[in-house]
């Protein structure tokens, strides 16, 4: 009988579960696992930090619906990946982390990088286990993959002791399992769907809120039909953007605050009433608003606000249930209503305000002027990755998304440092398509610093990602070079430099050129347009455009800022 190593058993089990991508950093004891994965046809992407590797693997899970693997070494390697696991769990994205650990024979002896890994990951995952034997590995991996996708998606962990990796077992003794199917589709009770439809028809000021869950659930066709058949206004959460195009005439995202405050019936589609939607509480929401909540997680129903109707089920399927009722008994919200008039007035006023901020005379670029030029040049079908405080918030309003799952950002957990990992994942997926789309990563300078070394990863794999760093010399805001020079003359920068400041005019572009990519330093609108056009034309190498903006630039004061509590 043929003998196989533990590494081969792991790789074969992952291929059986249709895992196509593995991101990680190898070392003892998982080098052979990565090599076996490649031999089995899995694409392995070596990263520079385990957090970024886990961010990348989870992004693949979100974009494809099936998890990728993050492979890490024991102890510190796994600990670094915990941030990515937590982010995936809070975002509800499927990912499987495989961590090497110290040999079983050395447990409790103070082995190299010994750490209680299975116990530690339970706070950050849906499932955490160590196979009892080589023969049990396929069934544990199948359960990890299945658990990561079923119900509310999230992170799962499989622990592999070092002495399992190279140990051998007779192939006939390995417990073979088949590929777990896609999650089963569930429908809401028909009587509850009827109640929801009746409530929508009675609404004076209806509003649809399209969340990231609708994007993950691939509900775009059904939601477009619902919006257009019923003439309903909608707004999207950041990663719900594009499920129904931002340029659709029924999008009221530009009047977000007014829509939330005055809506009397809100249909919540794959969005949670957490901090991103002000918990559903007054004064952000009408205290008498009726919520229709559609979610695949029972525990989410009634969180913070008790819904008038709770529809538990797959979003795509539940919306189809609604559409079947509207088809039998047609109804459309009047386009000439006072509600539509009020929303359009606010949208026009906010558009004028943003236009004024973008065109205001200034010796330097600001957020609005920079994004005005960026938005004019980006391909409408590009995959946009965005992170940073002001950079992400302003970009969300000024860069429009027309397609679903084409925006990735800091997400529900508000995690900084996700951008380059997300961009690498998106670029790897696009590379496999017959008609790949551009991946553009727009970062604040602070956000870029969390995972900036991943530009080497992009150069090594020749991923044509375009990175735009909006550089204001700080976190939220910085100081100019002259002010910094004056601070340097004083006693100790550690006691006088504002905590939000970073080094003025830092040359992030030179990091990219150091690894063989294209770097551009930009101070003017003309330079920004020229460098972005040149970067978008190159499909061979990544580019980084370092856009120096006014350090005092800030986002406009909003009636209700995105955060419940204002930033510094």
Q: Which DSSP string do the residues of 237-257 spell out, in sequence order?
A: -GGGTTSS-TTSTTB-GGGHH
Residue 164 is predicted with a pLDDT of 96
Give the pLDDT confidence of 236-294 residue by residue, as tens digits: 999 999 999 999 999 999 999 999 999 999 999 999 999 999 999 999 999 999 999 99
Give the dihedral of Cα atoms 26, 27, 32, 37; nearest 10 deg: -10
Residue 110 pLDDT exceeds 90: no
pLDDT at 412 exceeding the cut of 50: yes
Predicted confidence (pLDDT) at residue 564 exceeds the cutoff of 50: no
pTM of the model: 0.95
- CA quadruple 395, 396, 398, 403: dihedral positive or negative? positive
Q: Is the pLDDT of residue 29 over 50?
A: yes
Torsion from C-alpha of 423, 215, 270, 189, nearest 10 degrees: -150
Beta carbons of 405 and 63 less than 8 angstroms apart: yes
Q: What is the pLDDT of residues 206-221, one digit of tens each?
A: 999 999 999 999 999 9
Is residue 549 a contact partner of residue 364, using CB atoms and an 8 Å limit? yes
Q: Note the helical H segments in 360-444.
A: 367-377, 389-398, 419-431
Task: Give start and end residues of each alpha helix (H) in 378-461.
Answer: 389-398, 419-431, 445-450, 454-460
* 408 vs 117: CA distance, rounded Å: 29
Assign 383 to helix, strand or coil.
strand
Does position 558 have pLDDT exceeding 90, yes or no? Answer: no
The pLDDT assigned to 157 comes to: 98
pLDDT of residue 108: 86
Residue 531 pLDDT level (bands cut at 50, 70, 90) = very high
Taking residues 388-416, what's their average pLDDT? 94
Q: 337-382 pLDDT, tens per residue?
A: 999 999 999 999 998 888 888 888 888 999 999 999 999 999 999 9
Give which of 167, 93, 104 is closest to 130, Cα–Cα. 104
Sign, CA torsion 503/509/514/515: positive
% of the chain surpassing 70 pLDDT: 97
Give percent of the chain above pLDDT 90: 91
DSSP designation for 12 = H
Backbone angles phi, psi at 127, to 5 degrees: -150, 135
Tens of pLDDT, residues 111-128: 888 999 999 999 999 999
CA angle centred on 466, ends 463 and 472, rounded to 5°: 140
Separation CA 326–CA 201 (nearest Å): 10
Per 3-state DSSP, what percentage of the chain is helix, strand, and coil (rounded to 5)? 45, 15, 40
Say whether pLDDT at 565 is over 50: no
pLDDT above 50 for 566: no
Q: Could you give the CA distance from residue 278 to residue 272 in angstroms, rounded to a whole number?
A: 10
Read off the pLDDT of residues 425-476 as tens digits, 9 standing for 90 and up: 999 999 999 999 999 999 999 999 999 999 999 999 999 999 999 999 999 8
Domains of the chain: 3-173 (3.40.50.970), 190-344 (3.40.50.1220), 360-548 (3.40.50.970)
DSSP for 34-58, written as a single string = HHHHHHTT-EEEE-SSHHHHHHHHH
CA gap 395, 353 in Å, rounded = 15
The answer, yes or no, to whether residue 562 has pLDDT greater than 50, is: no
| Band of pLDDT at residue 413, cut at 50, 70 and 90 | very high
The pLDDT tens digits of the residues spanning 309-324 come to: 999 999 999 999 999 9
3-class secondary structure, 371: helix
Tokens representing 178 are: 């088949």
Query: Tell me: the pLDDT tens digits for 74-100?
Result: 999 999 999 999 999 999 999 999 999
> 219 with 319: CB under 8 angstroms?
yes
Statement: residue 156 has pLDDT above 90: yes
pLDDT recorded at residue 362: 81
User: Both tokens of residue 393?
Assistant: 């918030």
Of the pLDDT bands very low, low, confident and very high (cuts 50, 70, 90), residue 148 is very high
CB-CB contact of 102 with 64 (8 Å) = no
Runs of H (alpha helix) within 150-269: 162-165, 190-202, 212-216, 220-230, 256-262
Distance CA 58, CA 124 (A): 13
pLDDT band of 556, cuts 50, 70, 90: low
Residue 560 pLDDT > 50: no
Nearest CA to 386 out of 312, 452, 325, 443 is that of: 443
Strand partners for 159: 99
Residues 6+ apart with CB under 8 A from 547: 365, 370, 468, 469, 470, 471, 522, 528
> To 5 degrees, how large is the angle CA 441–CA 445–CA 449?
90
Residue 306 main-chain phi, psi, to 5 deg: -75, 120
């Amino acid at each position: 009988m043929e003998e196989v190593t533990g590494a081969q058993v792991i790789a074969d089990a992952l291929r059986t579960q249709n895992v196509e991508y593995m991101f990680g950093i190898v070392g003892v004891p998982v080098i052979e696992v990565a090599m076996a994965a490649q031999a089995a046809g899995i694409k392995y992407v070596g990263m520079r930090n385990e957090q970024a590797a886990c961010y990348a693997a989870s992004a693949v899970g979100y974009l494809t619906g099936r998890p990728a693997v993050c492979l890490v070494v024991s102890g510190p390697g796994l600990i670094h990946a915990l941030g990515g696991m937590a982010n995936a769990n809070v975002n509800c994205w499927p990912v499987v982390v495989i961590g090497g650990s110290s040999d079983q024979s050395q447990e409790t002896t103070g082995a190299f990088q010994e750490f209680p890994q299975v116990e530690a990951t339970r706070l950050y995952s849906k499932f955490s286990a160590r196979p009892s034997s080589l023969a049990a590995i396929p069934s544990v991996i199948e359960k990890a993959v299945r658990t990561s996708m079923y119900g509310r998606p999230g992170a799962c962990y499989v622990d592999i002791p070092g002495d399992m990796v190279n140990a051998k077992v007779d192939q006939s003794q390995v417990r073979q399992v088949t590929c777990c199917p896609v999650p089963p589709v569930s429908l809401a009770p028909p009587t509850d769907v009827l109640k929801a439809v009746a409530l929508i028809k009675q609404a004076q000021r209806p509003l649809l809120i399209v969340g990231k869950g609708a994007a993950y659930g691939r509900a775009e066709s059904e939601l477009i039909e619902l919006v257009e058949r019923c003439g309903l206004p909608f707004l999207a959460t950041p990663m719900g953007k594009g499920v129904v195009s931002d340029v659709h005439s029924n999008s009221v995202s530009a009047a977000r605050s007014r829509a939330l405050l005055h809506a009397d019936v809100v249909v919540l589609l794959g969005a949670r009433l957490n901090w991103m939607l002000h918990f559903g509480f007054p004064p952000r929401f009408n205290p008498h608003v009726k919520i229709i909540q559609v979610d695949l997680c029972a525990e989410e129903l009634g969180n913070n606000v008790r819904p008038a109707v709770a529809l538990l089920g797959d979003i795509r399927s539940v919306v189809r249930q609604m559409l079947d009722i509207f088809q039998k008994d047609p109804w459309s919200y009047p386009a000439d209503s006072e509600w539509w008039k009020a929303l359009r007035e606010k949208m026009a006023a906010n558009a004028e305000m943003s236009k004024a901020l973008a065109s205001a005379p200034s010796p330097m670029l600001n957020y609005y002027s920079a994004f005005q030029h960026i938005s004019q040049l980006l391909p409408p079908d590009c995959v946009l990755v965005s992170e940073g405080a002001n950079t992400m918030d302003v970009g969300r309003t000024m860069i429009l998304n027309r397609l679903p799952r084409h925006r990735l950002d800091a997400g529900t957990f508000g995690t900084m440092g996700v951008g380059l990992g997300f961009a690498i994942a998106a670029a790897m997926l696009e590379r496999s398509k017959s008609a790949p789309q551009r991946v553009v990563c727009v970062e604040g300078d602070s956000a870029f610093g969390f995972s900036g070394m991943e530009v080497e990863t992009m150069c090594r794999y020749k991923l044509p990602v375009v990175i735009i760093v909006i550089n204001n010399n700080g976190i939220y805001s910085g100081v100019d070079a002259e002010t910094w020079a004056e601070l340097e003359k004083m006693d100790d920068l550690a006691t006088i430099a504002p905590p939000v400041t970073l080094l003025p005019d830092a040359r992030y572009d030179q990091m990219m050129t150091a690894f063989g990519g294209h770097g551009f330093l930009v101070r003017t609108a003309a330079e920004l347009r020229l460098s972005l056009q040149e970067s978008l034309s190159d499909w061979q190498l990544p580019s980084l455009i370092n856009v120096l903006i006014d350090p005092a630039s800030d986002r406009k004061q909003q009636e209700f800022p995105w955060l419940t509590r204002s930033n510094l």
